[in-house]
Amino acid sequence: MSEEALSDSRPSVYPPIRKDREALRPRPNLFDYESECAAFSWDKARALLDGLPDGQGLNIAYEAVDRHASGAKGDKAALRWLGKAGERRDITYRELSEETSRFANALKCLGVEPGERVYVMMGRLPELYIAMLGALKAGCVASPLFSAFGPEPIAVRMQLGDGRVLVTTPRLYKRKVAGIRDQVPGLAHVLLVGEGEVEGDGLHRWDRTVEAASPQFTIRPTDPEDMALLHFTSGTTGRPKGAIHVHQAVVAHHVTGRYALDLHEDDVFWCTADPGWVTGTSYGIIAPLTNGVTSIVAEAEFDAETWFDILEQEKVSVWYTAPTAIRMMMRIGTDVAKGRDLSALRFMASVGEPLNPEAVVWGQEAFGMPFHDNWWQTETGGIMIANYAALDIRPGSMGRPMPGIEAAIVRKLDSGDVEVIDEPMVEGELALRRGWPSMMRGYLHEEERYRKSFAGDWYLTGDLAQRDSDGYFWFVGRADDVIKSAGHLIGPFEVESALIEHPAVAEAAVIGKPDPTLGEMVKAFVTLRPGHEASEAMRRELIGHARKKLGAAVAPKEIDFRENLPKTRSGKIMRRLLKARELGLPEGDISTLESDEK
């Protein structure tokens, strides 16, 4: 690309990172971006997969596991599990096929029907992967729950999704589920993985139920449009939304794994995301397996030194991680990376929150290669915009749309339609033309909310962005009040609701406050009921209350007390104004603010 062509690109202090694509080894799967985009079709992408034998449809678990298990990859490690206590266990494609079949048989024995929801909530244990994939084999809908959630978010999500089965550990059950069982009457079976005695209705031990089941299971015929995955995501208001994904999504998982993560079959791939969130499912479970690679599953929580150890010792070749972790690794310094043998590593990608250009460039210094930022969200099911192995990088940009994806910057019109903004570097909402296989098929039980996320053929992402004259997209911010903290999407309403359940709290408003490591941290403003005093003890009390209900990852880290919260004349709390005031930014349009609060 000529320097001239870069002239109206976003001004960045960092020059583009040029790629000599001819020198890249192995040859990137997406070698020539323009011609691949021109030649691409989703039908051709579908042909990269096998489909169920005898034309019985398309099933994610078959593409991920069984088709490899019966072929040349049968004895290859599908998952390499690194336990917290230093264990290292390889699970081959054949073993994974057998284990997932046992789980599918166990569901059948329990009378669980296809289409019913199987929730999985635990740390990164092999059983989590077995349960997710086994549920798909049985034709059930697999729904992961983040194990750091507190009881409240768990109850709400199981109610919304009509959970029939939960797979968890005795410890998590005791701490988080036993107390909310009466709120989820449809939950018939709980499978408990590992040691520990608990009591309750419909409890089954994994070792007796699953390990005793037959390792043979014939995947039932699956329509590509059958519901497969249910992922919860947060909006600004109301309860979380259950985004429905179908089996056909696997076409996008597979192809984005090939193109955006450049997976080749000899790769050792490590996606660090927790499977409680969509990245950990699409790229921590499905895409690496459909591509037949060995996927690292590290049970332990983040620790910079340990992560460097894993990269080195496991000879990770493709690494998919997130900005918060990268920033934490940056803190321990470039020399730590340089002192190690990371010669196996050839591609690094990042997702989930804005990747600051310093972090892209730090990759270059520390690892000799940049981080490749990419963008997508729960609703899109797979990567939509990415920096590719063979394409130059503009540090700070999310990259260019995947082949098969049409992305645009749009402006909303009064009519409710949208207009595509053609001029480069003009801010608007990021929109995607509907029609790719991993697009959500609905928000469960919420037709209206689903409908509102489209304008004609355009799916509106809720993100603000710009596009430069060469088609690179640049993230600007969220169009709504949703918070991204350490890569986790947090709905302010859910946090506010938990806070006002405390008897001392009259009102609460929650914002995302910029944080150098977490991206944003959850901050709450509360007004107290008469008879309660704002004090340090009260602050601690409220933080403790929120943690107990929501879990530490979601609860506010800071709480400020206020006499009043700014509200519109119709009584809606203006989070935006609180945020502007907190950050010392212009207050914007406050014409609807109640007059005594200006």
Chain positions contacting ligand AMP, by CB under 6 A = 233, 278, 351-355, 373-375, 377-378, 398, 461-463, 475, 478, 484, 489
Residue placing its CB nearer to ligand AMP in the complex, 104 or 440: 440
Residue 515: CB minimum distance to ligand AMP, A: 15
Residue 360: CB minimum distance to ligand AMP, A: 11
The Cα-based distances of 48 to 26, 199, 250, 387, 448 in angstroms read: 19, 47, 11, 22, 35
Residue 289: CB minimum distance to ligand AMP, A: 20
* Pure H helices in 466-512: 492-500
Residue 342: CB minimum distance to ligand AMP, A: 23
Residue placing its CB nearer to ligand AMP in the complex, 91 or 384: 384
* Rounded-to-integer distance, Cα 49 and Cα 66, Å: 12
Residue placing its CB nearer to ligand AMP in the complex, 104 or 386: 386
Residue 285: CB minimum distance to ligand AMP, A: 15
Q: Is 458 exposed, middle or buried (CB count within 10 Å of its CB: 0-12, 13-18, 19+)?
A: buried
* DSSP conformation letters of 63-82: IIIIHHHTSTTTTSEEEEEE
For residue 510, which of 588, 502, 499, 501 has the smallest C-alpha distance? Answer: 499
Residue 128: CB minimum distance to ligand AMP, A: 19
Residue placing its CB nearer to ligand AMP in the complex, 396 or 566: 396
* Rounded-to-integer distance, Cα 496 and Cα 549, Å: 12
The Cα-based distances of 339 to 280, 320, 333, 440, 483 in angstroms read: 29, 21, 11, 44, 37
Residue placing its CB nearer to ligand AMP in the complex, 92 or 378: 378
Residue placing its CB nearer to ligand AMP in the complex, 142 or 538: 142
The DSSP symbol for 62 reads I
Residue 519: CB minimum distance to ligand AMP, A: 9
CA 485 to chain centre: 12
Q: What is the CA radius of gyration of the chain?
A: 24
Beta strand spans in 388-497 (E): 400-401, 407-412, 418-420, 428-433, 442-443, 454-455, 458-467, 473-478, 483-485, 488-490
Decide: 463 and 475 in contact? Cβ < 8 Å.
yes
* Rounded-to-integer distance, Cα 307 and Cα 315, Å: 12
Residue 395: CB minimum distance to ligand AMP, A: 13
Q: For residue 368, what are the contacts with CB-CB under 8 A and spacing of at least 6?
A: none
Helix (H, G, I), strand (E, B) or coil at 315: coil
Residue placing its CB nearer to ligand AMP in the complex, 321 or 378: 378
Q: For residue 263, what are the contacts with CB-CB under 8 A and spacing of at least 6?
A: 29, 257, 269, 287, 288, 291, 293, 318
Residue placing its CB nearer to ligand AMP in the complex, 151 or 487: 487
Residue 249: CB minimum distance to ligand AMP, A: 14
Residue 476: CB minimum distance to ligand AMP, A: 9
Residue placing its CB nearer to ligand AMP in the complex, 274 or 463: 463
Decide: 463 and 479 in contact? Cβ < 8 Å.
yes
Residue placing its CB nearer to ligand AMP in the complex, 181 or 478: 478
Q: How many residues does the chain have?
A: 598
